[in-house]
Amino acid sequence: MKRLVITLGMHRSGTSLLSAALEGLGVEYGNELIGPAPDNPKGFWEDRVVVELNERMYQALGVTSSTLGVDCTRMAAGARWRFQLQIARWLKPRLRGEGLLGLKDPRLPRLIDIWSPVLDRLKIDYWLLIPLRNPLSVAASLTARDGFSTGKGLLLWYEHMVRALRFTGGKRFVVVDYDRFLEQPEAALGELAAWLGLQPDPRMLERFRDQVFDPGLRHATYDLDALEQHPDSFPELVRLYRTLLALSVDQAHVHAPALSCGIERLVGRFEELWPILRQCGQWDMELWTIGQFCQLQETYLRQYKEEWLSRETDLMGWISTLEYTIGQEQAGRSEAESWLRNVESNSREQVAWISTLEDVIRQEQAGRAEAENWFRQAESGWREQLQRSTQRITVLAQDLGASQVQVQGLVQDLNALRCHADGLQLHLDQVLNSRSWRLTAPLRRVMQWWSLRASLSSN
């Protein structure tokens, strides 16, 4: 069976950093861890099932993890038994084998009375690691993360750390100062390894140094004097811090009788203050409930306001649209009225024009009747003239036929005359080309001359 290392400390006290350091030394935390968050960017090293289980325990008690005065004795026996059964079911399979199993949840110190019977019943060999950080630093971190007052942060630290210290009786435990760990990480890791009897895993230690360890994540640092002088501090708180600070320095005497007596006195004073703390827790829960109610009311009012602002915006937009539409309608109405006036004027003009047109049509109809009469008369005359022309054309056609016959006869006569002329021309050419004609040429000229003279003498 594996051994168990329980990190038992207050929120914002370096529980995650020290659990990461234990992982570097070989402690296993499983594969179902809660992922990083803005308030813890390196991771939590908290098993999801364990956190959900512890949250359900708080719910069964009617409180939250930030409530003061958490009293596990008020849980019903049946509910306690069911939760312890779930714890056993979670532990058994994870403890099989060899090595070290890590368990870390800042809710554990005030729920350890429910867990411890299961640890005893399963006969688990376990160590307790108690991270220590100045209460003022824790309160400042809670103020930054959750908005808690410094006084509430100090009381929460006091309740968690007393519960953790009370549980250490007769058990192996170590107190690790968070501030000293950040200042001397190598020495602190060596002491943790020696306490657990482990040889550090170089690969895991390198991962721790490179990916987890970051002194810059510490945003608030206070010393013992600041705690003693703070107005919200109280003697038992300072005494508890002093005791834990001494335990972190001198681990060899954690079970010394004097120290054990001191722890018993601290626990006794806590028991005396417990009724007050429990009452403060009830008031705190009532205030938290009222605060939740106020937040719900504020959320509702904000949503209601946003809804009405949205409606007002929509309404104003609708009114603007309506005003614009009315303006457009009024402009359109003016245009329509002007258009109607124009239509009325045009209608009157159209009526006058139609009346004139009707007169013109009537005149045209009268003229058309006259024209039809004229055309009928003209048509009758034209028909008579056409008939006469047709008869004349018939006569002319007959004359044309006779003329064509006469022309054909004349053409034949002309052709005969042409043939006769051609014969005469041929005869003439023969005469002119004859020898007698050429020989008688002088005689013909004398006769022409003699005829000319005679003509002139007669004149």
Average pLDDT over every residue of 30-57: 84
Q: Is residue 230 part of a domain?
A: yes
Average pLDDT over every residue of 337-349: 82
Report CA-CA distances (Å) from 97 to 1, 409, 417: 5, 155, 159
What angle is formed at CA 144 by the lines to CA 141 and CA 147, rounded to 5 degrees? 115
- Domain encompassing residue 159: 3-255
Highest mean pLDDT among 125-134, 201-210, 349-358: 125-134
Residue entry with tokens 């098993």: 47
What angle is formed at CA 51 by the lines to CA 45 and CA 57, rounded to 5 degrees? 155
Q: State the pLDDT at residue 258.
A: 62
Q: Is residue 332 part of a domain?
A: no
What angle is formed at CA 239 by the lines to CA 236 and CA 241, rounded to 5 degrees? 110
Lowest-pLDDT range of 157-166, 241-250, 333-342 = 333-342
Q: State the pLDDT at residue 197.
A: 86
Q: Is residue 288 part of a domain?
A: no
Q: Is residue 111 part of a domain?
A: yes
Element (H, E) at 373: helix 257-432
Q: Indicate if the pLDDT at residue 260 is higher than 90.
A: no
Q: Indicate if the pLDDT at residue 410 is higher than 90.
A: no
Q: Indicate if the pLDDT at residue 435 is higher than 90.
A: no
CATH number of 183's domain? 3.40.50.300
Q: Indicate if the pLDDT at residue 401 is higher than 60.
A: yes
Residue 139 and residue 157 in contact, taking contact as beta carbons nearer than 8 Å: yes
What angle is formed at CA 392 by the lines to CA 391 and CA 395, rounded to 5 degrees? 90
pLDDT tens figures, 347-379: 788 788 888 888 888 888 888 888 788 878 877
DSSP code for 47: B
DSSP code for 189: H
How many beta carbons lie within 10 A of that of residue 152, not counting itself? 21
- Quickly list H helices, 14-63: 15-24, 48-60
State how beta strands 173-177 and 3-7 pair: unpaired
Q: State the pLDDT at residue 117.
A: 97
**Total of domains in the chain:** 1
Average pLDDT over every residue of 36-57: 84
Q: Is residue 411 part of a domain?
A: no
Q: Indicate if the pLDDT at residue 389 is higher than 90.
A: no
Q: Indicate if the pLDDT at residue 398 is higher than 60.
A: yes
d(CA 283, CA 289): 10
Q: Indicate if the pLDDT at residue 175 is higher than 90.
A: yes
Longest dimension (CA), the chain: 208
Q: State the pLDDT at residue 159.
A: 96
Q: Is residue 344 part of a domain?
A: no
Q: State the pLDDT at residue 41.
A: 64
Q: Indicate if the pLDDT at residue 111 is higher than 80.
A: yes
Q: Indicate if the pLDDT at residue 183 is higher than 60.
A: yes
What DSSP string describes 206-252?
Answer: HHIIIII--GGG------HHHHHH-TT--HHHHHHHHHHHHHHH-GG
Q: State the burial class of residue 209 (Cβ atoms within 10 Å of its Cβ: 0-12, 13-18, 19+).
A: middle
- Quickly list H helices, 95-184: 112-121, 135-146, 150-166, 178-183
Q: Is residue 342 part of a domain?
A: no
Average pLDDT of the chain to the nearest whole number:
86
Lowest-pLDDT range of 28-42, 85-99, 211-225, 349-363 = 211-225
Q: Indicate if the pLDDT at residue 211 is higher than 70.
A: no
pLDDT band at 405 (very low <50, low <70, confident <90, very high): confident
Q: Indicate if the pLDDT at residue 459 is higher than 70.
A: no
d(CA 111, CA 55): 10
Comparing 130 with 421, the larger pLDDT belongs to 130
Residue 126 and residue 118 in contact, taking contact as beta carbons nearer than 8 Å: no
Q: Is residue 350 part of a domain?
A: no
Q: State the pLDDT at residue 458.
A: 76
The reported pTM is 0.64
Beta-bridge mates of residue 3? 100
Highest mean pLDDT among 101-110, 318-327, 402-411: 101-110
Helix (H, G, I), strand (E, B) or coil at 40: strand
Q: Indicate if the pLDDT at residue 40 is higher than 80.
A: no
Average pLDDT over every residue of 97-102: 92
What single letter denotes the amino acid at residue 455? S
- Express as a percent the part of the chain with pLDDT over 90: 34
What single letter denotes the amino acid at residue 302? R
pLDDT tens figures, 220-233: 788 899 999 999 99
d(CA 44, CA 204): 17
d(CA 297, CA 284): 19
Cα dihedral sign for 227, 229, 233, 235? positive
